[in-house]
Amino acid sequence: MKAVYFESHGERDVLRFGEVPDPEVGPGEVRVRVRACALNYLDIWVRRGWPGLRLEMPHWCGADVAGEVAETGPGVQGWRAGERVVVDPGITLGEDEYTRRGEDSVSPGYRILGEHRRGGAAEFVVVPAANLHRLPAGIGFPEAAAPLLVGLTAWRMLIHRAALRPAETVLVVGAGGGVNSMAIQVARLAGARVFAVAGSAEKAEAARRLGAEEAFDRTRGDWVREVLARTEKRGVDVVVDNVGRATLASSLKAVARGGRIVVVGNTSGPLTEIDLRFLFAKQISLIGSTMGSHQDFRVVTGLLWSGALRPVIDRTYPLAEGIEAYRRLEEGRHFGKILLLPP
């Protein structure tokens, strides 16, 4: 089959498009014909690699998959070829104290499709049957694939980890990314007032269309000053910051006393310095979050299928143009999700 893959870690020049081995279907697994696969910044980190990450090469990423059942493995029941499906990207290897209390993504046995095992940037993918969910008629494959991982991540970080409450204020730093475009919607759905920081006037306007009360173009002024002005110098209750090194110091200034900063990524780099005086003087909670539980996935897809949340799609590319799609993602020219469409 064809895939967008790499055989060694590195920058974008290690990516290739070509033939790779067809994935074999094992007991309890299903082979899915990929019809749409969304890209995530996670794909870039996986491609670059980090100490301790060991992958079977060649490897290809892709956590967000919508497609059709192609083949079922031994012991799989309830699925037949041709059924339209989406894939829960979080794979649980076994039961432990975390999974028993519904904290699947905290478990050391939690794996992510496209990170720990080969993903959907290919014509076919093999996943556990337990991770399949039926895709309702009338919803297209790109619209189904685009919001899966980011919707799951946004839901957990705001509803569970940050414990967002109605009438609170939320600041989303970096509005163009997939998680943040969903975070604006989730926060609004929860009854919060939403502000956003964007990298251009066009992205700021797109954030407003999604539901942000105000969006600040960071290239045209001091967004911390703007946030404080809009909140009568109080600051916001919750800051969503997945930029990291470039913005965390500003997030500490923009959050209210007793507020929360939730971190779900680090697009500008994983290492940063924190002025601890802000942390303890303002009694700020710095909260980490990633992915979500299998029940969270069911809740989020239910909201998506009902139209309460909607996918935000920047652009689609044929699978054969996957390297160019990754270029667009890496250069930050997008607003919302970029998708690959296998033939």
Q: Are residues 156 and 141 in the same domain?
A: no
Residue, of 327 and 274, whose pLDDT is higher = 327
Whether 246 is in a domain gets the answer yes
Give the count of beta carbons closer than 10 Å to the beta carbon of residue 225: 12
Whether 18 is in a domain gets the answer yes
Q: Are residues 178 and 207 in the same domain?
A: yes
- Is pTM, for the whole model, over 0.85? yes
Q: Are residues 142 and 11 in the same domain?
A: yes
277-305 pLDDT per residue, tens: 989 999 999 999 999 999 999 999 999 99
31: which strand partners? 71, 126
Q: Are residues 156 and 254 in the same domain?
A: yes
**Mean of the per-residue pLDDT values of the chain:** 94
User: In whole angstroms, how far apart are CA 54 and each of 50, 71, 116, 148, 277?
Assistant: 9, 28, 8, 25, 38
**Distance between CA atoms of residues 71 and 306, nearest Å:** 29
User: In one letter, which amino acid is 186?
Assistant: V
Q: Are residues 131 and 158 in the same domain?
A: no
Categorize the per-residue pLDDT at 268 as very low, low, confident or very high, splitting at 50, 70 and 90: low
Write out the residue range of the structural domain in which residue 326 sits: 2-146+311-341
Q: Are residues 206 and 268 in the same domain?
A: yes
Mean pLDDT for the stretch of residues 111-117: 96
**Distance between CA atoms of residues 137 and 144, nearest Å:** 11
**Distance between CA atoms of residues 334 and 267, nearest Å:** 14
Whether 233 is in a domain gets the answer yes
Q: Are residues 165 and 264 in the same domain?
A: yes
Q: Are residues 131 and 62 in the same domain?
A: yes
Give the count of beta carbons closer than 10 Å to the beta carbon of residue 60: 25
* Contact between 336 and 210 (Cβ < 8 Å): no
Q: Are residues 70 and 109 in the same domain?
A: yes
Q: Are residues 191 and 273 in the same domain?
A: yes
DSSP, collapsed to helix, strand or coil, labels residue 293 as coil
Whether 277 is in a domain gets the answer yes
| pLDDT on residue 295 | 97
Whether 293 is in a domain gets the answer no
138-181 pLDDT per residue, tens: 999 999 999 999 999 999 999 999 999 999 999 999 877 889 99
33-81 pLDDT per residue, tens: 999 999 999 999 999 999 989 999 999 999 999 999 999 999 999 999 9
* Counted domains in the chain: 2
| pLDDT on residue 197 | 94
| pLDDT on residue 186 | 97
Categorize the per-residue pLDDT at 228 as very low, low, confident or very high, splitting at 50, 70 and 90: very high
> Nearest 5 degrees, angle CA 329-CA 314-CA 187?
95
302-333 pLDDT per residue, tens: 999 999 999 999 999 999 999 999 999 999 88
Residue 86 pLDDT greater than 90, yes or no: yes
Whether 298 is in a domain gets the answer no
**Distance between CA atoms of residues 309 and 151, nearest Å:** 9
Q: Are residues 125 and 247 in the same domain?
A: no
DSSP states of 91-128 as a string?
EE-S--HHHHTT-GGGSTTEEEBTTTB--SSBSEEEEE
Whether 132 is in a domain gets the answer yes
List the CATH number of the domain containing 105. Answer: 3.90.180.10
**Distance between CA atoms of residues 164 and 189, nearest Å:** 11
Q: Are residues 169 and 281 in the same domain?
A: yes
User: In one letter, which amino acid is 238?
Assistant: V
| pLDDT on residue 266 | 74
Whether 303 is in a domain gets the answer no
